[in-house]
Amino acid sequence: MTTRRGLFVAPFDALADPRVVGDLAADAEAAGWDGFFVWDHLQYGERVTEIADVWTCCAAVAMRTERLLFGPMVTPLARRRPQVLARQASSLAVLSGGRFVLGLGLGDDWVGEFSAYGDEGDPRARGRMLDDGLEVLTGLLSGEQVHHVGEHYTARDVRFRPAPDVPIWLAGRFGNRAPVRRAVRYDGFFVIDLATPDDLDVLTDELAAQGTAPGFDVVLDLKPEQDPTPWLNRGASWVLTRVGPYDLDLGQVRRIVAAGP
């Protein structure tokens, strides 16, 4: 498997401007990167003071590039309405000519990103919301008029252009089996906290045992100072370089982007 390379960009502080994110995406495409994926957060602790909206950033990336795959990495479905999310995903797929990837996950409440706003703080409850929301979301993207009344979501007669080919990647921490079981029903798995290439072997074996479909993506991210060479061409379809989250210097970020994969 030939591993594709992308950037995993936190739109925080110096990058908390969709115009800057769009510029960086255009530079990334020119430098030979294959993908550009944007974090989705409301807050990220006291060291981060400004955060841009992920959907506005994705629209900027769509408009400034022609080849890159891009999308949120990842959006916590538990704080979104699936019918609204389906319309956003469909619109970005149209805007980009089919280059949009929808990354979804539980999200994390370590800084109160859910509970501080009155949203669900229990990760098990967010897992149930994720599964319920995925049922609605995938039905809507496929073009069905979904009449779904579940534990958490209701969707009826949503009007927008279907986008059945939008890939859905599910995220989860290495070692947790529930995210793997969820991800294999969709198009890819973004693994968090993968420590070594040997861990990658363990993960790919587990995914194969679960019965992934051909073309299933395995996605991981590394810090800029990590050598990607040991991770390439051994089971991951994407190796991303992390940009952020802290002390972002725009000049340094531009150098990382310009250096290419």
Q: What is the rounded distance in angstroms from the CA atom of residue 223 to the CA atom of residue 242?
A: 5
Q: Residue 89, Cβ neighbours under 10 Å: how many? A: 26
Q: Average pLDDT for consecutive 10-residue bins of the chain (261 residues)?
A: 93 98 98 98 95 98 98 96 93 97 96 92 94 91 75 75 93 95 97 94 94 95 95 94 96 97 96
Structure tokens at 92: 């970005």
Structure tokens at 215: 């073309």
Contacts of residue 141, defined as CB under 8 A and 6 or more positions apart, other chains included, come to: 86, 89, 90, 162, 163, 164, 166
User: Of all helices (H) and strands (E), which one includes residue 180?
Assistant: helix 177-183
CA end-to-end span of the chain = 17
CB-based contact 18:26 (threshold 8 Å): no
Sketch out the chain's domains with CATH numbers.
4-259 (3.20.20.30)
Please report the pLDDT score of residue 261 as a whole number: 96
The string of DSSP letters for 189-210 reads EEEES--SHHHHHHHHHHHHHH
Please report the pLDDT score of residue 149 as a whole number: 63
Please report the pLDDT score of residue 159 as a whole number: 77
Please report the pLDDT score of residue 148 as a whole number: 67
Contacts of residue 233, defined as CB under 8 A and 6 or more positions apart, other chains included, come to: 1, 2, 3
